[in-house]
């Protein structure tokens, strides 16, 4: 269909070809792109190259990945500030990576150390998060962060708590940016509610393995959406 791409700068060239096809109207706004395997075959490159090319076009505002659903056409021309959006995504991804370093271990420790009062505080934080579902983005993010703060507190590790509190302003700004970048609340006013409830349930049950797994899956999915 399309001549095989040369090995030099494959991802850039794949992105260029896909961009031209988008601009030519091959896929309408709102439509779903073919899968990575199909595109890789059409362009004569590997799936990892296609994945990177799709990330570039998403960074330019032309595509939007939806977890578990595929990649959809957002617009047929790059946004004027497309490369700024790429840099913004990279910065938010870095914050998510640091969150993982803190919060996965906090979840594991909380499952082992949480008191009844700690669990009650987590459930109150979940209720406040739900109550903020229709609030402005920053207010919702602050309610979401309060859930994670209650989990870190339940780990009963003073250094971990200090690290988290020092990082909270950066987390808040990054999560507000992420909501805007990915349009998360366009699809769901209270994203990831079930995951948060499941995490608290695992901690309340004293299941350290499940708590760490749920926390890791939540943050890895967030990082994947940004890519």
**pLDDT tens string 161-173:** 999 999 899 898 8
Model confidence over 110-152: pLDDT tens digits?
Answer: 999 999 999 999 999 999 999 998 888 889 999 999 999 999 9
Burial class (CB in 10 A: 0-12, 13-18, 19+), 199: buried
Q: For tokens 């190259």, what's the residue?
A: 49
Does this model's pTM top 0.85? no
**47-59 and 36-43 are packed helices; what angle lies between their axes, rounded to 10 degrees?**
100
Does residue 67 register a pLDDT over 80?
A: no
Share of the chain above pLDDT 90, in %: 48
Average pLDDT, the chain: 86
**Count of C-beta atoms within a 10 Å radius of residue 58:** 24
């Amino acid at each position: 269909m399309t001549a095989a791409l040369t090995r030099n700068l494959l991802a850039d060239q794949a992105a260029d070809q896909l961009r031209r096809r988008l601009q030519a109207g091959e896929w309408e706004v709102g439509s779903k792109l073919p899968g990575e395997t199909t595109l890789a075959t059409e362009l004569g490159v590997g799936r990892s190259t296609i994945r990177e090319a799709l990330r570039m076009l998403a960074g330019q505002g032309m595509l939007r990945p939806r977890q578990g659903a595929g990649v959809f056409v957002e617009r047929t021309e790059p946004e004027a500030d497309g490369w700024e959006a790429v840099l913004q995504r990279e910065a938010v991804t870095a914050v998510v990576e640091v969150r993982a370093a803190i919060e996965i271990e906090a979840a594991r420790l909380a499952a082992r150390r949480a008191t009844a009062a700690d669990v009650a505080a987590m459930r109150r934080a979940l209720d406040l998060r739900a109550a903020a579902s229709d609030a402005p983005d920053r207010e919702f993010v602050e309610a979401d962060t309060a859930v994670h703060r209650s989990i870190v507190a339940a780990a009963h590790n003073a250094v971990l708590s200090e690290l988290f509190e020092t990082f909270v302003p950066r987390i808040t700004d990054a999560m507000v940016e992420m909501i805007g970048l990915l349009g998360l609340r366009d699809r769901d006013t209270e994203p990831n509610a079930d995951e948060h409830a499941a995490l608290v349930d695992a901690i309340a049950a004293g299941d350290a393995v499940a708590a760490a797994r749920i926390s890791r899956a939540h943050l890895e999915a967030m990082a994947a959406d940004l890519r």
